[in-house]
Amino acid sequence: MQKLDIGLNDVQKVYSGAEGDLWKLVMGEQIHIGGFAESMVLAQKAGVKEGDKVLDLCSALGAGLRFLAKNFKVEGYGLDGTQHMVDQAVALDQGEGLADKIQYKVGDVCSVPWEDNTFDVVWGEDAWCYVTDKEKIIAEAARVLKPGGTLAFSDWIEGSAGLSPEEAKRVCNSQMGMTFPYLETVKGYEDLIAKYGLTLKSSEDLNDHFAEMIDLYIAYLTKQLLYDALKIVGDNMEFFQAKGAEMGFWSEMAHAKKFSRGRWIAVKE
């Protein structure tokens, strides 16, 4: 898929404005598909255990690390390129009494500011679709993992049926505010994992669940949370309807297996 010219400022705009508030309205603090249940699946498949040092690349509001700290008693570290998100994550950690369990840095996930062989787990949930150089983030994840450490992540991807150039441009640069430089594929991530010396343990295309969840978010916004959503966008119905049309297009692409989500587990031998 051809890459769009998307930079850090574009991502910051998403999560510092109305679009970010809309996504938080329907997804909660865990701004990823499936929330708690999907985090638990990822953690269990990765074999996360008490005392593990876990690095969350693109840590957003820190919900993934709070989930891991509370349920698995890990030592959490987050890296995100958006100061707004890190500030909120720190405040939320403090509110839950977890400030001593989690640390954050603001920085580039393609140039991770930690030494080689530092972490037991590198973690990501539905966020690397924003990263322009996905090869580099996989390379950096492999570098900072300890031998025997685990890479565990999910991400939004191009589906098995493939997107036309016109469909890809609309999906990746939609009025939903989520703007992606490009979408990787299941095989694309498998190839990158192998290239950087990691042993793939599982690779899954979660298309049916992805389509189901997009439809659920549409139902939330139209059948229950419309009043709340309109407040977020200044009661601008035209603005809201334009975003709804884009979400409807996402649903269409997901059901056609052109737009999807995957999950990968790999180990550094």
pLDDT tens figures, 211-255: 999 999 999 999 999 999 999 999 999 988 988 899 999 999 999
From the list 241, 217, 219, the residue with the least C-alpha distance to 230 is: 241
Q: How confident is the model at residue 19 (pLDDT cuts 50, 70, 90)?
A: confident
Given the DSSP bridges, would you call strands 198-205 and 259-268 parallel, antiparallel or unpaired?
A: antiparallel
DSSP category for residue 112? -
Separation between Cα atoms, residue 5 and residue 28, nearest integer Å: 29
- Give me the pLDDT at residue 1, please: 59
pLDDT of residue 5: 45
Structure tokens at 81: 């390129």
Separation between Cα atoms, residue 219 and residue 244, nearest integer Å: 11
pLDDT at 16 over 70: no
Query: Strand pairing partners for 144?
Result: none
* pLDDT band at 3; cut points 50, 70, 90: low
**In the prediction, which pLDDT does 88 show?**
92
Is the pLDDT higher at 233 or at 113?
Answer: 113
Nearest Cα to 124, choosing from 144, 111, 138? Answer: 138
**Alpha-carbon span 252 to 167, nearest angstrom:** 11
Strands across the sheet containing 119-125: 102-106, 75-80, 53-57, 119-125, 145-158, 259-268, 198-205
Percent of the chain with pLDDT over 90: 84
Q: pLDDT tens digits for 33-76?
A: 999 999 999 999 999 999 999 999 999 999 999 999 999 999 99
Q: How confident is the model at residue 179 (pLDDT cuts 50, 70, 90)?
A: confident
Helix axes 8-16, 18-27, angle to 10 degrees: 60
| 12-16, 96-100, 103-107, 181-185: range with lowest mean pLDDT | 12-16
CATH of domain 8-265: 3.40.50.150
Domain ranges within the chain, ordered by starting residue: 8-265
